Amino acid sequence: MLKGNSKDILPRMADPRKFAQQGISIEGLIAVAELPRLASALADDAAEVMAELEFSVAEEGRKVLRGRAKVQVQVVCQRCLDSMPLDLQVELNLAVVWDEDQAVTLPKYLDPWIHGEGPADLYSTIEEELLLDLPMVSYHEDECVARERFQSGEIVESPEPVDNPFQMLKQLKGTPK
């Protein structure tokens, strides 16, 4: 059973146990602006996450959610402080459990999704997975700082990238010549 198509907005709330029993699959988009913890780590919140979710009952009656979510976001390069594209892509292999005790009984290929009775917030579940895929810092692959310096007419004395953005800011502002 497939509900919706790729142009639809993914519903935020779903009862994962009920959906698993009914074998429901859903797919759709989530605006990054709806994911505040992720958005706060990005250069902007304009992107949309594409998510495909399959709920089913697996071995030993476990209610599982399998699926994937992907999005291309804009993050701040920590070398030149300009924005740069970054692909995030996660696989979900979640088993709905009532508590920590039940969580530790899961096989290794399933991650626990601790949830009580009733509907769960799918957005925050997907957001959590995307946050795990987000690197602590991001850099352009090319030598963005060296190029910036060249464009601003300064002589490049040290070709080594500057790792500390604050240090770099100081250098950019510099002292009056």
Tell the smallest beta-carbon distance from residue 12 to Zn ion (Å).
35
Applying CB under 5 A, among 14, 80, 86, 126 the residue interacting with Zn ion is 80
Please state, as a whole number, how many other Cβ atoms lie within 10 Å of the Cβ of residue 20.
Answer: 21
Site string for Zn ion, 104-143 (x = CB under 5 A): ------------------------------------x---
Minimal distance, residue 154 CB to Zn ion, in Å = 16
**Does 144 help bind Zn ion (rule: CB under 5 A)?**
yes
CA dist., res. 171 & res. 157, Å (int): 12
Please say which residue, 52 or 139, places its beta carbon nearer to Zn ion.
139
Considering the complex, state which of residue 36 and residue 85 has its C-beta at the smaller distance from Zn ion.
85
Structural contact between residues 124 and 97, judged by C-beta atoms closer than 8 angstroms:
no
For 5-153, strand residue ranges (E) read 13-14, 25-31, 48-57, 63-76, 83-97, 111-114, 120-121
Q: Residue 154 corresponds to which tokens in the numbers above?
A: 């300064």
Kindly tell me which residue out of 24, 38, 77, 97 binds Zn ion, with binding defined by CB under 5 A: 77
Element (H, E) at 2: strand 2-3
The sign of the dihedral angle between the CA atoms of 20, 24, 29, 33 is negative
Question: Which residues 4-43 are close enough to bind Zn ion by CB under 5 A?
Answer: none
Quick one: which segment of 36-44, 78-86, 107-115, 127-135 binds Zn ion (CB under 5 A)?
78-86
We find the least distance from the C-beta atom of residue 88 to Zn ion, in angstroms, to be: 18
Our CB check for Zn ion shows the closer of 31 and 81 to be: 81
How many residues sit in the footprint of Zn ion (CB under 5 A)? Answer: 5
Question: Is 146 among the residues that bind Zn ion (CB under 5 A)?
Answer: no
* Strand 120-121 with 13-14, pairing: antiparallel
For residue 6, the 8-state DSSP code is: T
Q: SS3 for 4?
A: coil
By CB under 5 A, tell whether 79 contacts Zn ion.
Answer: yes
Q: Which positions touch Zn ion (CB under 5 A)?
A: 77, 79-80, 140, 144
